Amino acid sequence: MNFRYKLMQFMSGRNGIDNLFYALFAVAAVISIINCFVNSFVLQFIIWIILGYAFFRVLSRNVEARRRENQTFNRMAMGFKEKRNVRRQRKADYNHVYKKCPACHAVLRLPRRKGKHNTICPRCNKQFKVHVFKA
């Protein structure tokens, strides 16, 4: 009980454990599993740097800066998940292909017909060729 109280007192005003900590810890764990096979000094060094940074963040008293780091990380993770969802949706859409317009980079959803086709981008009206390999 006394130890827990001391720990709580020690951790008050410090950043503590957040999502970024879990992510850093997971990355370090994955690298150390890889390092079981590779046995590289460089990898071991990287693991120590990652863990050092992770625990530095837990104990840091600059809570505001750590919160910003964690927010940035959360936003990046969300963006990654969203991109993965979009990729999955497009893959499940068997009847269409998704092509980027070379001029304005808009993504066009086109019917999946095998062969070469001419397409006009509805956004910038540029005509370009689309090559569909698989019907």
Distance CA 19, CA 121 (A): 42
Q: How far is the CB of 27 from Zn ion (least distance, A)?
A: 39
Q: How far is the CB of 131 from Zn ion (least distance, A)?
A: 17
**109 near Zn ion (CB under 5 A):** no
CA atoms within 13 A on the CB side of 55: 6
Q: Is the dihedral of CA 15, 20, 26, 30 positive or negative?
A: negative
The residue range among 9-17, 58-66, 82-90, 94-102 that interacts with Zn ion, by the rule CB under 5 A, is 94-102
Binding mask 45-64 for Zn ion (x = CB under 5 A): --------------------
Q: End-to-end CA distance of the chain: give it in Å, rounded.
A: 68
Q: How far is the CB of 129 from Zn ion (least distance, A)?
A: 13
Distance CA 81, CA 26 (A): 17
Which lies closer to Zn ion via its Cβ, residue 7 or residue 104? Answer: 104
Site of interaction with Zn ion (CB under 5 A): 101, 103-104, 106, 121, 123-124
